[in-house]
Structure 1
């Protein structure tokens, strides 16, 4: 796909403008994005205007396509940007909300193929605004997020969860017809490989020997399906870690965020995203010192959004949310976090090109000291909270 995108003039929506030239380049380095091929598009229009966009294309690797269920997830992500976000924004406006959700990059066009069928093929593309030219960027996943960045992203998660939840409560049939079908549960299909990897990893720590059975059993739950408990069921991102957040800084302070990559968005509990984000992506000392306040911060925004959309918030008390967190952490999130620490802390020089990834090399035994430190912290916190 490097070098060109076929029929780009019919793909991208630029009202009143005609594309004269489009330069296509690879955007991300190995290890920055596993589930798709990311490309930068530098467009020149007939009146010499320069427009920078980003294209998300199908990965050139059958294993990765299988691993991420690309035939389903690529379509779902297109629907999220093209239909679900505008639907939710219009719902907010109808209820008198003036500042509608704005945590996603702007959509510019998409397609599944060039044939007009409903099948995703190698010509499938999703085009979005290039956030980097507005000084958005990913922060360092190995260092973890500070308190300000954590609160910013938790706020976006609260909006992501609350607005669709309100839509579901007001328009249950519309939600069931137009949104829920595009929220699929996804689990990695290399569970046995990862289980062996985690088991060997645990063996490196003398202090974890007595916990090994509990930890492996906790990890094993990653392959199980746990349905959402109502009334909390809503859109969950399911992959909210550092690299899927583009943060804009002013004077070193995070001021705005865009949450990206909705390939594996699912229908579930908000607690799923809260637990995964806090324990995969936030500095250990921030979690230790501010955990309760961060849950309260999230809940305040979540409930305020529901109130603005004229929902009864009694079922969504802070205590009810904390119960959801306990259940979701215990049922699904230890394995999720332990699994994702591998790409988060991967040694960049060891990561192959997207086209070369396979079940045998997508995650390797070699781990960094930071990875070990984070894993021990996660184990300690999950054991302390009786989540594993």
Structure 2
């Protein structure tokens, strides 16, 4: 029997705040949008509605997505919903409008890479309070418009990967340009809504999270050592595990640091094929923070691009991202002197330990894990495909000197 979707209390009251006054909701149907195992950090519901225009009597359909906090207490803790939920809500209702206004003032094109946001709440108390089980974000259901996720076991081909890289560069450079040209605005109106500047876990909980994730990675090390070519790199991989922090809160790398998505991979990228073109939207901004953009870049490439494409086109993909990055800086009338390709490669080397750490457990357990169920991330049983991708990552990063 299918698992019943969680209820959304007083959804009528919430929706009526964002619908034109002369329209009334006459029907709502709520169901699950995603299958179990496809989302760990949230519950995703579809909300299909019928609205009636009281002036004309006409009816129209509206299709939304409701994003709620995880039902599991374990995942509420892992995803730190008191921070991540608020950060995502503020990204949509505050950060995006500021960034789009900045682009317009600079005469630069505003790209439609985010789903339309209809509003949200932390709880049922309009005066504030903590995030609870009544927290919900409402967004346009872009699946109805033809957007879908690719198969996470396959990922993006070369052409699709370049389209994503162009969107990621746009996402990174817009706040970076704002920071460079209007630092006061960035400090006062953007930074306070990024996860690393919000109150975090207690030191004890932070340490427990570190130990839990490091234990995942050490289990992964057992199969990394099965590959003889990886053995020389093992001490450096261990060093990466030791250097990992859940979230940088100081010592940010300038001038590259900007808004970071932190979770750019197949399941957080919606794709629509339009004849010969590919249109994408980025979703799931619950961990938006401030850090180096190469963390998004490298995590996307390793998790979401097939191994054969990486083997043959890694440099081409890195150069494509850099090209888009520079183009966006120029569109926003920023100097590009500090952002040469060589400096991007240095940035990759300096920040790569986080990518290595996350991919060691995320690829075997989530990306290439079993479909249709939420696998136990404490019990890694890697597929052959997961092993081969991790083996290649370790060897390639070692060969390039990125693990030193």
SS in 1 for 2:272: strand
Q: Which runs of 5+ in 2 are unaligned?
A: 53-57, 201-205
Match of 1:261 in 2: 284
How far 1:56 sits from its partner (Å)?
0.3
Closer, same or farther: CA 207–232 of 1 in aligned 2, 3 Å: closer
**Counterparts of 1:89 and 1:298, CA distance in 2:** 21
- CA contact 1:36–1:59 (8 Å) conserved in 2: yes
| Equivalence map 1:73-88=2 (5 Å) | 73-88=84-99
| Equivalence map 1:117-266=2 (5 Å) | 117-185=128-196, 189=210, 190-223=212-245, 227-251=251-275, 255-266=278-289
- Say which is worse superposed, 185-194 or 224-233, in terms of deviation: 185-194
Q: 1:322 aligns with which of 320, 339, 345?
A: 345
**Counterparts of 1:103 and 1:48, CA distance in 2:** 29
C-alpha RMSD of matched pairs (Å):
2.1
**Counterparts of 1:65 and 1:254, CA distance in 2:** 38
Q: 1:110 aligns with which of 98, 120, 129?
A: 120
How far 1:58 sits from its partner (Å)?
1.1
- CA contact 2:40–2:374 (8 Å) conserved in 1: no
How far 1:345 sits from its partner (Å)?
0.8
- CA contact 1:347–1:367 (8 Å) conserved in 2: no
SS in 1 for 2:143: helix
SS in 2 for 1:49: strand
**Counterparts of 1:363 and 1:212, CA distance in 2:** 21
- CA contact 1:222–1:333 (8 Å) conserved in 2: no
1:87-134 deviation per Cα after TM superposition (whole angstroms, max 9, x unaligned)? 10011111112x203211110111111112231111110011111111
How far 1:219 sits from its partner (Å)?
2.6
Alignment partner of 1:309 is 2:332: yes
Match of 1:355 in 2: none
Q: TM-score by structure 1 length?
A: 0.91
What number of residue pairs does the alignment pair up? 377
Closer, same or farther: CA 349–42 of 1 in aligned 2, 3 Å: closer
Q: 1:364 aligns with which of 371, 379, 390?
A: 379
- CA contact 2:153–2:368 (8 Å) conserved in 1: yes
Q: 2:14 aligns with which of 11, 14, 21?
A: 11
- CA contact 2:150–2:271 (8 Å) conserved in 1: yes
- CA contact 2:37–2:373 (8 Å) conserved in 1: no
Q: Which runs of 5+ in 1 are unaligned?
A: 353-360
| Equivalence map 1:10-29=2 (5 Å) | 10-12=13-15, 13-15=18-20, 16-29=22-35
SS in 2 for 1:40: strand
**Counterparts of 1:164 and 1:207, CA distance in 2:** 41
1:181-200 deviation per Cα after TM superposition (whole angstroms, max 9, x unaligned)? 22224985422431332233
Closer, same or farther: CA 265–17 of 1 in aligned 2, 3 Å: same
- Say which is worse superposed, 288-297 or 204-213, in terms of deviation: 204-213
How far 1:265 sits from its partner (Å)?
1.4
